[in-house]
Amino acid sequence: MPIRPENKDRYPDDWPTLTRAAKEAANWRCACTGQCGRGTHPGRCPNRHGQPAYGTGTTVVLTTAHLNHQPEDVRPDNLVVMCQGCHLHHDRAHHRVTAALTRAAGRAAAGQLALEAVADLAVPREPVLPPAAPAAPAPVCGEPLPFFTNSNSTQSPEAHP
Ligand SMILES: [Zn+2]
Ligand SMILES: [Zn+2]
């Protein structure tokens, strides 16, 4: 797997040594036992470095995959030597999850915005004040505003002369 330029700094300096040692420890055979998720090899993947890959016949190039997709995490139990087929599938599954999480976060953000918009509508933009001197008859559009109280609250507006 070529290291993407934006991730280059995330690999330790001794990555070439680490990945070579991992391949040697795996006897230059793909060490995937299903972590790739492609489900086409029962048990350990049979692909060997430099040999034709099962299924496609393309030459196997072993790579070292990070199970948690964090390039800086080079603990042995995070590293699995994989053929390009397994590695690609492993990464693709990761990208699907990442994309799904991104979509979910987007929906959550949209829902949050929708809630905020509703809250915005529910709150009057200007405070509604009762008329200072309700001498005139109630305005045609106006219902009585029972929620507002003032010093005259014992008197209803209709009782005014
Ligand atoms: Zn494989
Ligand atoms: Zn695999």
Q: Tens digits of per-residue pLDDT, 80-108?
A: 999 999 999 999 888 888 888 888 888 88
Q: How many distinct structural domains can be found in the chain?
A: 1
**What separation in Å is there between the alpha carbon of 38 and the centre of ligand 2?**
6
The answer as to whether 158 is a domain residue is no
The answer as to whether 50 is a domain residue is yes
Q: Which ligand places an atom closest to the C-alpha of 45?
A: 1
Average pLDDT over residues 29-54: 96
- Please identify every residue whose CB atom is under 5 Å from ligand 2, which is an ion: 32, 36, 45, 86
Cα torsion 68, 69, 73, 79: sign: positive
Asked whether residue 14 carries a pLDDT value surpassing 70, the answer given is: yes
The answer as to whether 28 is a domain residue is yes
The answer as to whether 161 is a domain residue is no
The rounded Cα 156 to chain-centroid distance in angstroms is 57
pLDDT interval class at 119 (50, 70, 90): low
φ, ψ of residue 45 to 5 degrees: the values are -60, 135
The answer as to whether 12 is a domain residue is yes
The model carries a pTM of 0.62
Q: Structure tokens of 146?
A: 């029972």
Q: Which ligand places an atom closest to the C-alpha of 63?
A: 1
Provide the residue range defining the domain that includes 37. Answer: 5-97
**What separation in Å is there between the alpha carbon of 84 and the centre of ligand 2?**
9
Q: Which ligand places an atom closest to the C-alpha of 37?
A: 2
62 burial class (0-12, 13-18, 19+ CB within 10 angstroms)?
A: buried
**What separation in Å is there between the alpha carbon of 40 and the centre of ligand 2?**
7
